[in-house]
């Protein structure tokens, strides 16, 4: 194990959103092998990953969690509403950001009292004020982003050029300029990320951009061999170092760590494994469409009937549903009982994906899920909803060539307003996409072999001496050098 100064201390600020928090906890456990790590979050969010951090501490990793109370009442949010997935409407996002901004002073007070003193802040890009705190503490700050390098570069191009302004209709396709692959998107698909109509959110995104430009580097949950054409291009576009240190989900080796990664599962992991153990190898489709995705009753029926028509065994995780949908599911579960398992709530995704019975993954194309599917060596059915997910779909299908789309052409989901949008994935398209992914003929086998190879590369990246492991070591060394540089006395010219 590499030898670093014993007083090295990383401070992590995860966004209060499940997908971001999961990654930050994985990163914390990786860094805690070499340094002290402090995670700053809120009481409700601490409970979500307490069992994981408790096990890390029991295994002698130097991790601590410090809780700060979000001033919810002051911004008009309900008591205990400390995570974005607890907000009933996207209209309340601006209030959550306002509450997050008010953590700056109490967070700095906490950091100034820590021993050993903080050496580096790694914060989600949606905490722009951590850049000011890092400056006042005279320590480096690295910014963490959810997407991979391909998607992040595409977003950079679209947010820093006038390419979208040249497209008249939201449904018009255009080619993303300045990248090595030919990627076609509609204006609506490309523009759903960072889009805001309120002054508060426009100001917030401006502050995010300024803080990112001042950061000492960018941390990405990806690996270089996955995005060989895009790591260097992103670093060039951002004019700063990019550290690919993933897939961090592969740091979870035990069944318990995989089962408890994220929220408490809606099914006992042992029951889930027993069900999978009875299935043939690579025969099961796992369907999980994200912690922030919401679907209309009609869309859920189309998905369910499409799965039923495919005659493929499946596990389907349904995060939330209306009373109407729950009633429909009772009869549906009876019809598919011989080959379908419904999980109501959170599913132990990494554990399921790693099972040999699983042969395909239907995903919303969030970057976490995308990379977890890649790490498991699985071809994917893509069903994007919003934000960066349409770009991730293009990466899966057009760059990696390991996916088939259900045909979502428009942005069908506005958080909390899903019933206002038409069905975007029809049952016939769902059936066809599932059958193509599970197909054992030439086309399906080609995707399967490419996915398997990427899974092997992902595992190699995280092994000792692999590119992501070496990047982690290099990142830590770079922080040490910056600290030494900051500590040098400044002499006037004689």
Is 260 a member of any domain? no
pLDDT digits (tens, 9 = 90+) for 263-301: 555 566 788 889 999 999 999 999 998 766 667 888 899
Is 491 a member of any domain? no
- Whether residues 132 and 226 share a domain: the answer is yes
Cα–Cα distance for residue pair 37/56, rounded to 1 Å: 11
Mean pLDDT of the chain: 89
Of 287, 198, 236, 226, nearest in space to 468 by CA: 226
Q: Which domain holds residue 417?
A: 265-458
Cα–Cα distance for residue pair 212/44, rounded to 1 Å: 28
> How distant, in Å, are the alpha carbons of 143, 295, 321, 413 from that of 301?
40, 10, 11, 16
- Whether residues 184 and 207 share a domain: the answer is yes
- Whether residues 296 and 429 share a domain: the answer is yes
Helix axes 129-137, 199-214, angle to 10 degrees: 40
Assign 255 a pLDDT band (cuts: 50, 70, 90): low
- Whether residues 151 and 198 share a domain: the answer is yes
Is 415 a member of any domain? yes
Give the per-residue pLDDT at 493. Answer: 46
- Whether residues 302 and 334 share a domain: the answer is yes
Assign 23 a pLDDT band (cuts: 50, 70, 90): very high
Is 494 a member of any domain? no
- Find all residues with CB under 8 Å of 437, minimum gap 6, and list them: 285, 359, 360, 379, 380, 381, 403, 404, 444, 447
CATH number at residue 353: 3.40.50.2000
Choice among 102-116, 125-139, 255-269, 460-474 with the minimum mean pLDDT = 255-269
Displacement of CA 118 from its chain's centroid (Å): 26
Is 159 a member of any domain? yes
Is 492 a member of any domain? no
Cα–Cα distance for residue pair 311/277, rounded to 1 Å: 19
65: enclosing H helix or E strand: strand 63-67
- Whether residues 376 and 244 share a domain: the answer is no
- Whether residues 469 and 444 share a domain: the answer is no
Cα–Cα distance for residue pair 346/276, rounded to 1 Å: 17
Give the per-residue pLDDT at 419. Answer: 46
Segment 6-26 shows an average pLDDT of 94
pLDDT digits (tens, 9 = 90+) for 405-462: 998 876 544 444 544 445 678 899 999 999 999 998 888 899 999 999 999 999 999 9
Is 2 a member of any domain? no
Cα–Cα distance for residue pair 370/148, rounded to 1 Å: 10
Segment 198-202 shows an average pLDDT of 82
Q: Is 113 exposed, middle or buried (0-12, 13-18, 19+ CB in 10 A)?
A: exposed
- Whether residues 276 and 334 share a domain: the answer is yes
Domain count for the chain, please give it: 2
- Whether residues 469 and 449 share a domain: the answer is no
- Whether residues 230 and 310 share a domain: the answer is no
- Whether residues 40 and 137 share a domain: the answer is yes
Displacement of CA 276 from its chain's centroid (Å): 25
- Whether residues 281 and 405 share a domain: the answer is yes
Q: Which tokens hold the place of 429?
A: 């398209």
Is 233 a member of any domain? yes
pLDDT above 70: percentage of residues in the chain:
89
Report pTM.
0.91
């Amino acid at each position: 194990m590499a030898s670093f100064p014993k007083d090295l201390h990383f401070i992590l600020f995860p966004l209060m959103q499940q997908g971001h928090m999961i990654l930050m906890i994985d990163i914390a456990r990786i860094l805690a092998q070499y340094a002290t790590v402090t995670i700053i979050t809120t009481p409700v969010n601490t409970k979500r990953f307490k069992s994981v951090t408790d096990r890390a501490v029991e295994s002698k990793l130097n991790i601590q969690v410090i809780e700060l109370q979000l001033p919810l009442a002051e911004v008009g949010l309900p008591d205990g509403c400390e995570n974005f997935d607890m907000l009933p409407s996207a209209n309340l996002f601006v209030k959550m950001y306002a509450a997050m901004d008010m953590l700056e002073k109490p967070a700095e007070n906490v950091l100034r009292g820590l021993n050993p003193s903080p050496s580096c802040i790694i914060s989600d890009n949606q905490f722009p004020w951590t850049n000011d705190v890092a400056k006042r503490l005279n320590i480096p700050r690295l910014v963490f982003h959810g997407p991979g390098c391909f998607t992040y570069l595409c977003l950079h191009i679209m947010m820093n050029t006038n390419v979208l302004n040249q497209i008249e209709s939201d449904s018009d396709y255009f080619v993303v300029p300045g990248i090595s692959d030919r990627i076609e998107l509609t204006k609506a698909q490309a523009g759903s990320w960072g889009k805001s109509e309120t002054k508060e959110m426009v100001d917030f995104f401006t502050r995010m951009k300024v803080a990112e430009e001042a950061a000492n580097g960018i941390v990405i949950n990806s690996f270089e061999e996955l995005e060989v054409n895009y790591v260097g291009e992103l670093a060039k576009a951002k004019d700063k170092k990019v550290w690919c240190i993933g897939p961090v989900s592969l740091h979870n080796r035990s069944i318990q760590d995989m089962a408890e990664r994220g929220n408490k599962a809606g099914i006992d992991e042992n029951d889930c494994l027993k069900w999978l153990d009875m299935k043939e190898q690579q025969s099961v489709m796992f369907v999980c469409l994200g912690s922030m995705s919401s679907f209309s009753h009609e869309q859920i029926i189309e998905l369910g009937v499409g799965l039923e028509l495919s005659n493929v065994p499946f596990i389907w995780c349904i995060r939330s549903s209306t009373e109407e949908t729950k009633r429909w599911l009772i009869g549906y579960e009876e019809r598919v009982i011989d080959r379908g398992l419904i999980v109501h709530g959170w599913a132990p995704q990494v554990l399921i994906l790693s099972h040999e019975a699983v042969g395909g993954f239907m995903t919303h194309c969030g970057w976490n899920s995308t990379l977890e599917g890649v790490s498991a060596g699985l071809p994917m059915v893509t069903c994007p909803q919003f934000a960066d997910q349409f770009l991730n779909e293009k990466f899966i299908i057009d760059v990696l060539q390991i996916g088939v789309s259900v045909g979502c052409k428009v942005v069908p989901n506005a958080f909390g307003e899903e019933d206002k949008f038409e069905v975007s994935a029809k049952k016939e398209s769902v059936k066809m996409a599932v059958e193509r992914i599970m197909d054992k003929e030439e086309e399906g086998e080609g995707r399967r072999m490419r996915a398997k190879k990427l899974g092997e590369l992902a595992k190699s990246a995280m092994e000792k001496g692999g590119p992501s492991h070496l990047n982690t070591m290099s990142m830590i060394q770079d922080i040490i050098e910056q600290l030494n540089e900051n500590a040098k006395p400044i002499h006037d010219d004689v």
